[in-house]
Structure 1
Amino acid sequence: MTWHGPTFRISDGETIDGVWCLVESKHDWLDEHHTEHLFVYADGRITRGRYEATDLAGLGRLLASGKLALDPPGVRERPAEPSKWRSRSPEPRTDESFLLEVADEIARLAGRPTAADRCWDAIRACLAEPTQERRVRLRDAYLAVPAHRRVYVLGDMDSQDRPLRILVTDPGEAVDGDGPVVTHELHRDALAYFTDLEEGVERAEERRAVLHADDPSGAPQPPIVLHQTVYPQGPPAEPGDFALRNDHEAPFTYAGQTYPTVVHAYWALSAAAPADHDRIRSAATADEAREEGGRAARRADWSGVRLAVMAGLLRAKFDQHPDLADLLLATGEAGIRYTGFSDAPFWREEEPRGGRNWMGRLLELVRSELWAARRPQR
């Protein structure tokens, strides 16, 4: 089964993460199946198609009744393998093993351990103290993994789950009934395999820590949200974070021209005709400049240069207004979300997960440059 995602739904204002797969559905009044989406969410809700909701037990009843099937009718079953030990294929997927897989997806989405996680915990317990009791616990944990997913539990394409199958088989018994007879030496070899695997993971994590040494650490700061705000009585004496927005009036000079706001400058510079540039620059307010700029013909290269122009405008604004630079630096390392209703989604963030927020990103870039400029170079 291939799971797709991420997806989500909103419940009581909370975002619930989910994934989806394709199943075959049959309605009561039609004697035929059709492909339908099955959505699975972190809170255990399972939605058949767009509206019909159930839970894990309900999904089991739908499968048992034939209203849902994992494969289209007429799909030939894979012939039985002549040797389970030599087989390279996973065990056939059944309704029961699929339900276990769905339960694992719910656990994973909710941040809880999956059957594979518990199996690995049992492996590590066995490595720490390889007693018979811990091997039995490992066998139970291994068998709790959905049968058709067991060959993938170790993430080893070559050995698959064979070392695990050896370790959970008692000495004197043949693995899978037709494999090698387990000895204490085979158990030791299997444990050595897991030791090497764990050491390899540890080396990879150490290497990743070196490569990602500059990644931010510690709890992240909550994002700074720069809302578009309308002031019918005029802007307040202390505008606060609103002063970081492009429509805040803070005259600055860029390329030899003076502009009242970044909005004036951006739209004036986008204009193809010099007369339009001057009219937009002279607009009474940022809103009027935006309106005039949107109606004017734009430069042919504007989509290619607009990010560089906006970055230059922001640098000029904050370089020429140290008090605003201090305000921007006071946001620390917090992410900056630039919201509103007048700017295009290219520049702003849209709820719940839309918009590209390029203004927020450029403000973070300029903030970093300000930090660098105020500290002596080594």
Structure 2
Amino acid sequence: MTWHGPTFRISDGEHIDGAWCLVWRRHYLLDEYFVEHLFVYADGRITPGYEATDLAGLGKLLASGKIALDPPGARERPDEPSKWRSRSPEPRTDASFLLEVADEIARLAGRPTAADRCWDAVRSYQAEPTQERRARLREAYLAVPAHLRVYVLGDMDRQDRPLRILVTDQGEAADGDGPVVTEEMHREALAYFTDQDAGVERAGQRQTVLHADGPAGAPQPPVVLHQSVYPRGWPAELGDFVLRNDYDAPFTYEGETYLTVLHGYWARSAADRDDHDRIRAAATAHEAQELGGRAARRADWPAVRLAVMAGLLRAKFGQHPRLAELLTATGEAAILYTGYSDAPYWREEGPRGGRNWTGRLLELIRSELRAAT
């Protein structure tokens, strides 16, 4: 079963993480099955379609046939001649799927899954390979949903065979039709995990080298540039509002003077020179945007608009040292440019999307200003 996400729901103002997969649901009148979304959430709520239930309720839906994991009449997988030699996972059943759903809920809630507990048991057995700890390992391994056990080690060459050897008593055949397990095979299986640990450590060291220039420590809280209206004019005490594109700070860009970044952006977007001049002469940024939105745009505008915006911002902050100081004072924080007038391409929209290109360009200009000092 493939889980998709992230998704979420809001309950009493709380953001609850979720994920979803596809199942088959029987139509109560037509007695036919159709594809349905099955949503699960960190608080244990399960929603097949619009019906809310829990893990026990999902079990009843599966048992009654109202929900199915495969469409009726789906071709059954042929029996494997040997469980040990099989390269396929065990068949998924209603019972093992319920265990998988319980694991997904645990993951969303930040609790250990069956696979996590299996790995903990492996580490415990590595540290002290006693019979008691091996019994715990066997119990933890068998708690992993049967159809997911071949994936638990993340090794599609060996799959879960090292675990299957470790949980089999010496003198017994692994999986009933595999090799008879010996003390040497147990040692080799343990050596597999030692080698894997060494490989993970080497990969971590390599990543440390490759990511040596990554930010250290906890990130700063983001700076959110809210869109605000000042009917009586801009406040005398400058604040983050000066970083927005509608702030009056005349600057020159490629030989033309613009009152705000919005004046420059919309004027530069116009295909006709008369439209450019009319937008540039607009009394306010809002008027410039209104005029620019109605004017015919340059044919190449989608390809060049990002470069034009970057150039306008460089000119604004390069020609106004006090504004540059306020921009660099934001430190290394992410800059989220919000509002309602700009297209989502330019602003941050939270869960609804938005590409926040204005905020990202402001971060770039901030870095350039620092590099130049």
Partner Cα distance (2:332, 2:14) in 1? 26
1:226 maps to 225
Q: What secondary structure, in the 3-state scheme, does the structure 2 residue paired with 1:258 have?
A: strand
2:3 maps to 3
Whichever residue aligns with residue 341 of structure 1, its letter is Y
1:33 maps to 33
Give yes or no for the alignment of 1:18 onto 2:18. Answer: yes
1:16 Cα deviation (Å)? 2.3
- 1:185-226 CA-to-partner distances (Å, cap 9, x unmatched) read 111011011111111111111111211112212111111111
Partner Cα distance (2:193, 2:298) in 1? 62
2:327 maps to 328
- 1:238-285 CA-to-partner distances (Å, cap 9, x unmatched) read 241110000011111111121111111111111122221111111111
1:57 maps to 56
1:122 Cα deviation (Å)? 0.9
Q: What secondary structure, in the 3-state scheme, does the structure 1 residue paired with 2:15 have?
A: strand
Q: Could you list the runs of 5+ residues in structure 1 that have no partner in the other structure? A: none
Answer with 105-114 or 321-330: which moved more.
105-114
2:290 maps to 291
- 1:344-364 CA-to-partner distances (Å, cap 9, x unmatched) read 111111243311110010001
1:150 Cα deviation (Å)? 0.3
Q: What secondary structure, in the 3-state scheme, does the structure 1 residue paired with 2:52 have?
A: strand
Q: Check whether the contact 2:27–2:34 (CA below 8 A) recurs between aligned residues.
A: no
Matches within 5 A, 1:163-202: 163-202=162-201
Q: What secondary structure, in the 3-state scheme, does the structure 2 residue paired with 1:352 have?
A: helix
1:208 maps to 207
1:7 Cα deviation (Å)? 2.1
Q: State the identity %.
A: 80
* Root-mean-square deviation (Å): 1.3
Matches within 5 A, 1:349-360: 349-360=348-359
Partner Cα distance (1:19, 1:174) in 2? 39
Q: What secondary structure, in the 3-state scheme, does the structure 2 residue paired with 1:214 have?
A: coil
Give yes or no for the alignment of 1:92 onto 2:99. Answer: no
Q: What secondary structure, in the 3-state scheme, does the structure 2 residue paired with 1:7 have?
A: strand
Partner Cα distance (1:373, 1:304) in 2? 28
Answer with 158-167 or 10-19: which moved more.
10-19
Q: What secondary structure, in the 3-state scheme, does the structure 2 residue paired with 1:238 have?
A: coil
1:156 Cα deviation (Å)? 1.2
Whichever residue aligns with residue 178 of structure 1, its letter is D
Whichever residue aligns with residue 100 of structure 2, its letter is E
Partner Cα distance (1:86, 1:298) in 2? 65
Q: What secondary structure, in the 3-state scheme, does the structure 2 residue paired with 1:24 have?
A: strand
Q: Which TM-score applies when normalising by structure 1?
A: 0.96
- 1:91-146 CA-to-partner distances (Å, cap 9, x unmatched) read 11000100111111111122222111111111111111111111111101100100
Partner Cα distance (2:32, 2:271) in 1? 60
Whichever residue aligns with residue 106 of structure 1, its letter is I
2:133 maps to 134
Give yes or no for the alignment of 1:244 onto 2:239. Answer: no
Q: Could you list the runs of 5+ residues in structure 2 that have no partner in the other structure? A: none
Q: Which TM-score applies when normalising by structure 2?
A: 0.97
1:88 Cα deviation (Å)? 1.4
**Aligned residue pairs: how many?**
373
Partner Cα distance (1:212, 1:178) in 2? 47
Partner Cα distance (2:156, 2:242) in 1? 56
